[in-house]
Amino acid sequence: MNPPYLLAQQPSALPAPSPRSRPHPPQLKGGDPAVRAMTDFLDDPPRTVAEDAGLEEVIDHMFRLGVRAFLVVHDRSVIGLITAEDARDARRAQQRRGAAARALRVADVMTPSPEVPAIDWQTVQDSRISDLIEIFEGSGVRYLVVLQTETSTWSTVRGLIHRQRLERRLRRG
């Protein structure tokens, strides 16, 4: 993702710790439209976190909410992505260094926007699940942020596609 990316809603410092109650999404097939694999932020607002939030607090919120990723924001702009895997790996590395290590913040661990794998909303609309599988297998990434172009210099984060969730929905049946 190349900045600037605008978040469509006002982010909270940390989300309220109430779990989402979602029915199981339907099974997917390779020929289904790719948009069926996406968490659309127009329907399901994204979970966000400020760059200066403490890592332990974020890990706790991820666990309590049952989510695997937060968009990292600064002044309503998306500046990165933090995943449960990133947080877990950083915590383990810190524990290996010992108790004297300083408390980690989200900014220390997040993947900055320019390095987050992204796909254009129009591409998602024109694609099938099988295309997403090829992208995930070819790139080895775990997430794809879906960007919707607003102007030649601004995009909004429209959604998120999580590889593990996609694979789980393909196996269900």
Q: What confidence score (pLDDT) does residue 7 get?
A: 45
Would you kindly state where each structural domain of the chain is located, as residue ranges? Answer: 5-15+29-171
Q: What confidence score (pLDDT) does residue 21 get?
A: 53
Helices vs strands, H then E, count in the chain: 6, 9
Dump pLDDT digits (tens) for 16-53.
544 555 566 788 999 999 999 999 999 988 899 999 99
The CATH number of domain 5-15+29-171 is 3.40.50.620: no
Are 173 and 32 a contacting pair, CB within 8 Å? no
Q: What tokens appear for 106 in the block?
A: 């989200």
CA atoms within 13 A on the CB side of 124: 22
3-state SS string for 24-89: CCCCCCCCCEHHHHCEECCCCCCCEEECCCEHHHHHHHHHHHCCCEEEEEECCEEEEEEEHHHHHH
Q: What tokens appear for 110 in the block?
A: 């997040």
The pTM assigned to this predicted structure is 0.80
The residues of the chain scoring below 70 in pLDDT are 1-24, 99-101, 172-173
Q: What confidence score (pLDDT) does residue 12 get?
A: 45
